[in-house]
Amino acid sequence: MSTSSKIITDLKGTFELHNGVKMPYFGLGVYLSEDGNEVINAVKWAIEAGYRHIDTAAIYNNEKGVGEGIRQSGINREELFVVSKVWNADQGYDNTLKAFDESLERLQLDYLDLYLIHWPVKGKYKETWRALEYLYQEGKVRAIGVSNFLKHHLEDILDSAEIVPMVNQMEFHPYLVQQGLLDYCNENQIQYEAWSPMMQGKIFELDAIKDMAKKYGKSPAHVVLRWDLQKGVVTIPKSVKKERIINNADIFDFELSKEDMAYLDGLEKGHRFGPDPDTFDF
């Protein structure tokens, strides 16, 4: 199955999570965006351009700037979908609760829309998940999920979880489709989300994607981001350049054909640009 039945409308469009919360399917990633003016401006420009989803993490060391960018944008907090993640060194039940409070403090927010376990730290992620369930039940976060969890990690969590994760954020691009994992998440109503959708810039070197971009009068980035959404996958391209932030979102006036969707699916190589969730070492 290469396409999704989820409806794609415009930049403010959403996919509904299994608890009824609406998650904007297109957002701004801020990995490696420097705290201070760089990330403040990126967040402000994104919100001005119509983005409503901002994705950060404790380990990015820019939550403070993200919060400042949100405040300076002047938009109502309720209109935004703000995401952060608990880092590996902070996992375990009590540590996670403390880390969550510290993230809120840096962001200067009263709640998060989504909180994720950043990586499946062996021997800890189940306790960490229990802490996320507590935060969710207490109303401190509107949705909870995981990141970098393979099928066996998800099965392990589901074995004892009270709440099924709402989201799984994974490295996802034409060289790492992991269709089996995507199908498993869809079957369990776990929303799939892409990080590194541009393959760390490598998509711009692929002739087939460049040719496809020409055909649609778009850029290679547009083709891949549109493919994400048509697969039913939330996507959060990262940029700190105003023009790029605005331009990345220009994907709502065309649609990839079934043939082109299948072609992009077929580029799968099982190739990671980031760490392997089974062998990562931070």
Q: List the one residue out of 192, 239, 233 whose CA is nearest residue 46.
A: 239
Length of the chain: 282
* Catalytic, out of 51, 60, 125, 192: 60
> Are the beta carbons of 181 and 153 closer than 8 angstroms?
no
Mind giving me the DSSP string for 8-22?
--STT-EEE-TTS-E
Q: Residue 149: CA atoms inside 13 Å, Cβ hemisphere, count?
A: 31
Distance CA(236)–CA(54), nearest Å, equals 8
Phi-psi bin for 159: left (phi > 0), alpha (psi -120 to 50), beta?
Answer: alpha
Distance CA(272)–CA(270), nearest Å, equals 7
Q: List the one residue out of 39, 80, 45, 79 whose CA is nearest residue 57.
A: 39
Q: List the one residue out of 28, 21, 16 whose CA is nearest residue 54.
A: 28
Mind giving me the DSSP string for 257-276?
-HHHHHHHHTT-----SS--
> Are the beta carbons of 19 and 46 closer than 8 angstroms?
no
192 is catalytic: no
Distance CA(118)–CA(128), nearest Å, equals 10
Catalytic residue numbers, as ranges:
60
